[in-house]
Structure 1
Amino acid sequence: MNSKEITIEHKYVQGLFDGHPHLAKEMSAAFDQLTTEGQLLDLMTPEGVFIARGYYGRQNKGYGWVLTMEQAEPIDLDFFIEKIKAAEQKRTALSHDPTTNAFRLFNGEGDGIGGLTIDRYADYLLVTWYSEGIYQFKSVIIAAIEAVLTSRGIYEKKRFDQGGKYISDDDFVRGERATFPLVIQENGVAFNVNLNDGPMTGIFLDQREVREKIRTDYSAGRTVLNTFSYTGAFSVYAALGGAEKTTSVDLANRSLPLTIDQFKVNAIDESMHEIRVIDVFNYFDYAVKKAFQFDLVILDPPSFARSKKRVFSVQKDYVKLLEQAIDITATSGVIVASTNYSGFDMRKFKQFIDQAFNKKGSRYKIVETFRQPKDFPFHQQFAESRYLKVVFVEKLS
């Protein structure tokens, strides 16, 4: 594919020379004239000096990603092979971990190709495309994956939406079809996943270290509330860690059978635990009326969610969420506050925690924090790629 030269505004040139990987609309008036997703772009200074080569791909608020700073480097099969090979080598320890066979193999701009991720789920690979731009390279990227990585089959998720809806045709790409649910291992814990049933798989791989910390250090003998619980992964870890009881709360009807299945695949008696299909905020109201107190409260909401009666936004509503969690957390109990929202940093997130405790007149102590595990590398020049923020907060009074 031939590259198209576009001129970058002076004030953005140095940032690109310094390695900033993300292309924004304001960087060049030429972006308004681009119509072909996947078009290779040679980014030039106003004086005609080559800066970098990237591709045009609309993703969230962005207009594309830088791929190389080398003018002579073609974007071809060898380019993608080298990127994937380098990413695989960084994950050698995980690849040889007998207790874990589900993790991220390639993490977008953190591994050099924005808009693309590759996850391993046991013997299968899942490729996620975050823009139509990167999807235009599908054939060559799949060929590169097959040249470097071993698998029984490859699935895909197309996360560039059409009118806000998941592109839900068959996600199988090639190889051997898996039988679902597929059972994977993480830290020796079993989970059912499905790679061919909508945008999500049944587990969020970036929370692996947080789940293990909950199991080893925060569960024994404690009552645990897992909100926005999805398929109950945190609850499973807490139960295996010796929790007295877990309560999983999620609005989605399917969370009930899926959570039961996750308990069963780990030989946990689900009748000893509670699974509630209810709006989390409504559950908080109910728990306050019943004077419930939990030793561990896990808050890991989606960045944005809409129900029939409520719209939730992390940016606007997380402080209120924390306030309600404080009400039902026992003194000396711990709140695990988590978000994957990339629009603010850890400093701002800790300010949310401080605001909530101040409003409730409670004292607290931050016990420890977590960011993305090593298989989810971030780009040093792109703060938004360091999205995961998890804070363990002890309620002192």
Structure 2
Amino acid sequence: MNTIQLKRGHERAYMNGQLNIDREDLSDDTFLKDGEIVKLEDTYGRLIGIAMISFEQKAQGWVLTRDEQEAIDDAFIGRRIREALEKRAPLYNQEDTTAFRLFNEIGDGIGGFTVDNYDNHLLITFYSRGIYKIRDLIIKTLMVELKPDSITEQTRFSNQGKMETINRRIMGNVEFPITVKESGMIYSVHLDEGPMTRLFLDQRETCKTLMHNPFNAKSFLNLFSYSGTFSIAAREGGMMTTSVDLAKRSRELITENFNANNMSLEGQSIYIMEAFEFLKYAERNRQRFDAILIDPPSFSRFGKKVFKVERDFPKLIGEALKVLKPGGHLILSQNLESFTLNQFKRQIDKTLTNAGYSYTLVDVKGLPKDYPTVKGYKNGKYLKVVTVQINK
């Protein structure tokens, strides 16, 4: 087993429990091999832990154990997967929800891959070629423990500096899309058509809130609506919905989900427009909404324009305020890993205060329970959903 050392002065965070290995913390990384098991030490030769090298966007590897005597072998990997599945066993007893996460990277003890269940159809996502080396063991364990109807793998590897996503069917003859249940609603999902499945499992709690409609809202604007899951939940909560997305296919996906739930599209609006353009259009046409949900991508391009969520979210909030009814609610969602909840709350406060608005913080949500995180990887708590009511 090879040994890698941390630079002097970089060991404190690891001594305090950090699990993700950052390249700039290493004294020398030129000889590292993706997927290799190594000893991680400080400059004095003191053991930090046993780690797996995993070249990802978020890390160079993960500390898997602090015990030098614990072998990182097939038994270790299988044990971690089985422990995660045992924790999720109660989820299979839910009658109203058939889609949830089964393994959440380092939150379940091994970084670099996730496993999602869509009504016994599994999607395994690999984030590095290193972790992909143990794919056969992962698949075998899942097949023995769960006996799934199908397994699809998705690889997200860097290729000449760009992220390349490839989906492959491993087993099963299912024809996608299929439908799953979430909190009693029915959604279409597709596991073979790219990085997104049409349903964001991590937003389950936000959908529940919309279904219950504690705001007593009558009208709802869903920006960056994608397949319209938030709109379906809001309609279930009694709101008239307006869904906005730049992708032309969104109209088809939203319509499909409305039909799956036997919901009429009469009175519901779908706009294939860029979000800023729609907000200007809505202001000109005096459209106003009781609740506005903004869930943008972390990064996107539109023509020559580049959207970066950490920089441009305040602009979105500012434009949304112009079409929000007095006393209305903003539901603001952000999933950039490097942007903390406290940073997001400060950004919202600064934006609203500078615009001359007072507000009430109504609700703060993060990841659901099937997305466990650990203190040793702070960026694991990537999802932040903050709801504010703008005071009249």
Q: Do they superpose with TM above 0.5?
A: yes
* 1:292 pairs with one of 287, 292, 304: 287
1:274 aligned onto 2:272 = no
Change (3 A) 1:270 1:166: farther
Distance 1:158 1:336 in 2: 32
1:192 aligned counterpart, secondary structure: strand
Distance 1:273 1:62 in 2: 43
Look up the equivalent residue of 2:227 and give its one-letter code. T
Aligned to 2:3: 5
Look up the equivalent residue of 1:203 and give its one-letter code. L
Distance 2:141 2:2 in 1: 24
Distance 1:96 1:310 in 2: 47
Aligned to 1:141: 138
Contact 1:81 1:147 (C-alpha < 8 Å) held by counterparts: no
Encode CA deviations 1:181-223: one digit per residue, 9 max, x unaligned.
1110101110000000111100110000111011102475511
1:6 aligned counterpart, secondary structure: strand
Contact 1:227 1:250 (C-alpha < 8 Å) held by counterparts: yes
Change (3 A) 1:219 1:173: farther
Kindly state the Cα deviation for residue 309 of structure 1 after the two structures are TM-superposed. Answer: 3.6
Kindly state the Cα deviation for residue 18 of structure 1 after the two structures are TM-superposed. Answer: 3.0
Contact 2:20 2:376 (C-alpha < 8 Å) held by counterparts: no
Encode CA deviations 1:140-190: one digit per residue, 9 max, x unaligned.
22222223333111111112232435333x52112x132211110101110
2:9 aligned counterpart, secondary structure: helix
Q: Percent identity?
A: 35
1:260 aligned onto 2:255 = yes
1:358 aligned onto 2:316 = no
Per the normalisation by structure 1, the TM-score is 0.94
1:124-163 matched pairs, under 5 angstroms: 124-162=121-159, 163=161
Aligned to 2:213: 217
* 1:180 pairs with one of 172, 176, 179: 176
Aligned to 1:382: 377
5+ residue gaps, structure 2: none
Change (3 A) 1:261 1:120: same
Higher mean alpha-carbon deviation, 83-92 vs 385-394, is at: 83-92
Distance 1:55 1:49 in 2: 18
Distance 1:116 1:202 in 2: 20
1:63 aligned onto 2:73 = no
Aligned to 1:239: 235
Distance 1:305 1:177 in 2: 34
Spell out structure 1 runs of 4+ moving beyond 6 A. none
Distance 2:128 2:30 in 1: 17
Per the normalisation by structure 2, the TM-score is 0.96
* 1:39 pairs with one of 24, 30, 36: 36
Look up the equivalent residue of 2:143 and give its one-letter code. E
Kindly state the Cα deviation for residue 320 of structure 1 after the two structures are TM-superposed. Answer: 0.8
Look up the equivalent residue of 2:380 and give its one-letter code. S
Contact 1:338 1:388 (C-alpha < 8 Å) held by counterparts: yes
> What CA RMSD, in Å, does the superposition of the two structures yield over aligned residues?
1.6
Encode CA deviations 1:82-136: one digit per residue, 9 max, x unaligned.
1111112222332211111101111111111111111000011111111122112
1:114 aligned counterpart, secondary structure: coil
Kindly state the Cα deviation for residue 272 of structure 1 after the two structures are TM-superposed. Answer: 2.7
Aligned to 1:87: 84
2:30 aligned counterpart, secondary structure: helix
Contact 2:125 2:153 (C-alpha < 8 Å) held by counterparts: yes
5+ residue gaps, structure 1: none
Distance 2:163 2:379 in 1: 24
Kindly state the Cα deviation for residue 311 of structure 1 after the two structures are TM-superposed. Answer: 0.9
Encode CA deviations 1:203-257: one digit per residue, 9 max, x unaligned.
11000011101110247551100000010000000111111x1000000111110
Kindly state the Cα deviation for residue 62 of structure 1 after the two structures are TM-superposed. Answer: 2.1
Number of residue pairs matched by the alignment: 391
Distance 2:14 2:143 in 1: 32
1:189 aligned onto 2:188 = no
Look up the equivalent residue of 2:186 and give its one-letter code. A
Aligned to 1:368: 363
1:296 aligned counterpart, secondary structure: strand
Higher mean alpha-carbon deviation, 194-203 vs 79-88, is at: 79-88
Distance 1:146 1:67 in 2: 24
Contact 2:113 2:131 (C-alpha < 8 Å) held by counterparts: yes
Kindly state the Cα deviation for residue 61 of structure 1 after the two structures are TM-superposed. Answer: 4.6
2:55 aligned counterpart, secondary structure: strand
Look up the equivalent residue of 1:73 and give its one-letter code. E
2:17 aligned counterpart, secondary structure: coil
Kindly state the Cα deviation for residue 351 of structure 1 after the two structures are TM-superposed. Answer: 1.4
Change (3 A) 1:49 1:361: closer
Encode CA deviations 1:276-307: one digit per residue, 9 max, x unaligned.
11000100110111121100100000111111
1:90-101 matched pairs, under 5 angstroms: 90-101=87-98
Look up the equivalent residue of 1:392 and give its one-letter code. T
Contact 2:279 2:319 (C-alpha < 8 Å) held by counterparts: yes
Aligned to 1:25: 23
